[in-house]
Structure 1
Amino acid sequence: MRVLSLKIGFLLAFICIKLSAQVTVDVKVDSTDILIGEQVHLTATVSAGSNQKVVFPEYASGTLTKGVEVLERSDVDTVFLNAGKRVQLKRSYTLTAFDSALYYFPPVEVMVDGKKYKSQNGIGLKVGTVPVDTVHLNNFSGPHSVVEGIFEWNGYLLGWSILLWGNLILLFLLLVRHSNRKPVTRRVMIRPKTPPHQQAITEIEKMKSDTPSTEENMKLCYMQLTDILRTYIQERFGFNAREMTSSEIIEQLLGNSDPSALRELRILLETADLVKFAKFTASLNEIDRSLMQAIDFVRTTKKEEPETSKPIVKEVAFDDLKQKRLRMAMSILISLLSLSLVVGGGMVIKEMYEVFL
């Protein structure tokens, strides 16, 4: 009994080995009836063991059989079967013929481990001719005109399209604004006013760099200095110092400022009056002293103000005349944009009609 079991086991193992080494070759074509110049694909399929070496025919001569040409050979497609024990290989050949006839393809031979294997059956291929009217020889139509390819954007069409979209967006914005009856406004930035003492000190410091060299320049220097002080006093103390004499200013300031600062201001104004009206010539030291007296007076009498705020942006409406002109300009621009849209749209439609039709 044990001997019988061993025999059966050896027999099954031999059958499995035999099956795994079996090689099959199958050939088929996708069509057996074509016209002259048309192409057909012949596919060779080989089933063999996964460890076997398979070599397909190359048809180096370029012909499968007389009259049938091999145009192209595909790569080998590999599929593993039976858990990797077997392999299925496929290769396609593109064929054509230029003579009408009935062709017979001999069995395809492949080499497997150096041994030749053939497909079981050959294949027939019928190649027919294109029907030609031999009776009405003069009825041949002329050559066709050039056929345009698929639609492609060109610079002309793209430019018109971009222009039309831009005009359409601008026209929409103008129509929205024109339909709004609110006055047209503009943004104005209002900067905080510079404190009077800062303005005065800045202007006096600037005068220090310009030293007068002649009597006329000296007179202009004192006139400019007194104008700066009169403007500062007017804004600081609230009376019209620009229209007062020096004595009237001193009298108005009595009791409102430091006595020592008022005394320095009196000396400065008297010196300035002498230079402007009595042709008094002051030395450079006196001019420098007057400038320092002016700065000291401003610093002594300045009024401490809160920290300067940031600039304020306000919407300011244009006057009635400008409102009318702006609305008229918008109406004209809307008309021009509408006209350009009509013309541009017609050009784009014409171009697309010529491309597609």
Structure 2
Amino acid sequence: MAGDGEFKRDKRYITTRITADGRDGFPVEPGRYRLVIARACPWANRAAIVRRLMGLEDVISMGVAGPLHDERSWSFHLDPGGKDPVLGIERLQEAFFAREPGYPLGITVPALVEVSTGRVVTNDFEQITLDLGHEWAAHQRDGAPELYPRARRDEIDDVADKVFEDVNDGVYKCGFASSQEAYGRAYQRLWDRLDWLEERLTSRRYLVGDTITEADVRLFPTLVRFDAVYHGHFKCNRQKLTELPALWAYARDLFQTPGFGDTIDFDQIKAHYYVVHHTINPTGIVPEGPDTSGWLTPHGRDALGGRPFGEGTPPGPPPRSERVPSPARE
């Protein structure tokens, strides 16, 4: 937290990479690593989406921490016996300590963990998705899409940087601001950027080009959590997502695209934010709403054209063990 009450994210991560040539000592190898996520976390959501789109479910196993954690880190409290069934640990902290005893920085998801040693390899969430898309190419499914095409990387990076600063992290800058002035600045930047996105998406189906790219993967996790959490809990309440025609339709379009909505568990999302953030919600009461069945309503975005997977194809259904509840039940 800055002296003026502005929330400052600690972006010091373990930047070791898993690469095809193994230059950091961790080569791409099926079965060697386990991706640890939490359904609640938007940063981890990105990795879960890309893993699905690339068809890497049988190549990189996935552990799912529960929505609750304390100062010691994310825990596997939803797994039988309260332990990850592959890594055999109760808390993600154990994998970080196996890498560096007393690890002093944030213990965050997503994290890639080497199964044989139990050591975390990296928690650099931005690089993880890029590497899943490229370094693991030899093991991706037939028809895996190109999320970071070389010809559009500059534009993707520009849009993604704006989205990160003002929207992905912007909602946190609103929610965790400790002064009215800092909150006001973050709120203005958030809504200026959402208005920019609303205008951009009125005439185009996706953020960059006519296919889904890394930019869409990065925006979606914030949008899907907006009405359930950020609008009220983080005081981002000028409008609801459902009141922004282009963004709401765009978000539903992605939600109904295989690989996106099938990674979302609204109950776990709400449980995390409303229970864990004691300073914002000291009672720990989790709201019943909002109704999420609207995520499955027609979006009409097909009229804008575009090819969601480019020359590729949709991924198949998620493994049975990774399926999440459908919002239709609500």
On whether the aligned pair clears a TM of 0.5, the verdict is: no
Q: Report which of the two has the higher share of helix.
A: 1
Under a length normalisation based on structure 2, what TM-score does the superposition of the two structures give? 0.18
Q: Report which of the two has the higher share of strand.
A: 1
- Structure of larger gyration radius: 1
